[in-house]
């Protein structure tokens, strides 16, 4: 008998299904270049839109765990600042066995995450909405409204109060982005609070964007490459 809301110990890792769904993406999925301070934990999301002609757009987002001292993961500098509710959620171990992948995810909550840091966005049809500037602005606004509500003085109920909506006016379209070791023409947002954003059109179609917390930039190589997963 399975109790509602409790995963059995042999419940499949949802990342396996996510990896299969990523095969729908018509272009390579991008990420930050491999580096000691970042850990790609296969925390990947896929969203898409469809119409009578099939898929019209797709977005794959990649998240990371950040290690401020990658040479010593036990160093307290690697830990996040947790409130009491979050600490209890991590430390209260239920009396039933849990899947190994779930235990891993709970333990990872102790460390800071670069949530949906890199997005690869594909549009079937060209439009202003598919431009680098538009996609980058959407990504920056999304991160601000979902990760920095308290810092922005907003309520914890996004449906009641939206965050500050940045526009294309804050985009510097004369920036360059290092992709697979090559400087590519791109765009950046360096005026947003709390985050820094970059983006570029990919040679094979689509757009890659990265939105990173300013507080962690000194630990991150802001370079992109095709994700090898």
Q: What is the pLDDT of residues 161-186, one digit of tens each?
A: 566 688 889 999 999 999 999 999 99
Looking at every residue in the chain, the average pLDDT score rounds to 90
Query: How far is residue 76's CA from residue 87's CA, in Å, rounded to a whole number?
Result: 15
- Residues 173 and 199: their CA atoms lie apart, in Å, by 9
Whole-number pLDDT of residue 3:
33
Q: What does the alpha-carbon distance between residue 13 and residue 80 come to, in Å, rounded to a whole number?
A: 25
Edge-to-edge strands of the sheet including 54-66?
A: 30-32, 224-226, 172-179, 182-189, 195-201, 207-213, 113-123, 54-66, 38-51
Going 2 to 3 to 9 to 15, the CA torsion angle's sign is positive
Residue of 109, 116, 134, 94 lying closest to 3 (CA atoms): 94
Q: Which of 22-31, 101-110, 155-164, 207-216 has the lowest mean pLDDT?
A: 155-164
CA-to-CA separations, 181 to 100, 117, 166, 212, in angstroms, rounded: 37, 19, 30, 20
Q: Report whether 227 contacts 28 (CB < 8 A).
A: yes
Cβ(57)–Cβ(134) under 8 Å? no
Backbone angles phi, psi at 25, to 5 degrees: -70, 125
Instruction: Quote the percentage of the chain above a pLDDT of 90.
Output: 61
pLDDT band at 18 (very low <50, low <70, confident <90, very high): confident
Determine the number of helices (DSSP H) and then strands (DSSP E) in the chain. Answer: 4, 9
> 218's torsion region: left (phi>0), alpha (psi -120 to 50) or beta?
alpha
Angstrom distance (rounded) from CA 95 to CA 56: 46
Q: How confident is the model at residue 15 (pLDDT cuts 50, 70, 90)?
A: confident
Res 14: pLDDT: 85
Other beta carbons within 10 angstroms of residue 96's beta carbon come to: 10
pLDDT of 210 > 80? The answer is yes
Inter-residue contact 32 to 221 (CB < 8 Å): yes
Helices of type H across the chain: 14-21, 84-91, 100-108, 132-147
């Amino acid at each position: 008998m399975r109790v509602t809301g409790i995963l059995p110990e042999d419940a499949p890792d949802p990342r396996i299904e996510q990896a299969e769904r990523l095969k729908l993406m018509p272009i390579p999925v991008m990420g930050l270049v491999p580096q000691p301070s970042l850990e790609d934990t296969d925390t990947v999301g896929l969203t898409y839109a469809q119409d009578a002609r099939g898929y019209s757009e797709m977005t794959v987002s990649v998240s990371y765990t950040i290690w401020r001292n990658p040479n010593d993961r036990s160093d307290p500098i690697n830990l996040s600042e947790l409130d009491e509710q979050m600490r209890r959620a991590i430390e209260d171990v239920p009396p039933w066995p849990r899947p190994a992948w779930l235990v891993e995810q709970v333990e990872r909550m102790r460390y800071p995450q670069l949530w949906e840091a890199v997005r690869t966005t594909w549009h079937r049809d060209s439009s202003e909405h598919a431009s680098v500037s538009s996609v980058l602005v959407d990504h920056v606004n999304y991160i601000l409204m979902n990760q920095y509500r308290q810092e922005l003085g907003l309520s914890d109920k996004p449906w009641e109060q939206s965050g500050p909506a940045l526009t294309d006016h804050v985009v510097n379209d004369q920036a360059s982005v290092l992709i697979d070791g090559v400087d590519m023409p791109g765009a950046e947002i360096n005026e947003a609070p709390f985050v820094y954003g970059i983006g570029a059109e990919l040679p094979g179609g689509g757009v890659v964007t990265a939105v990173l917390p300013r507080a962690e930039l000194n630990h991150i190589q802001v370079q992109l490459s095709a994700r090898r997963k």
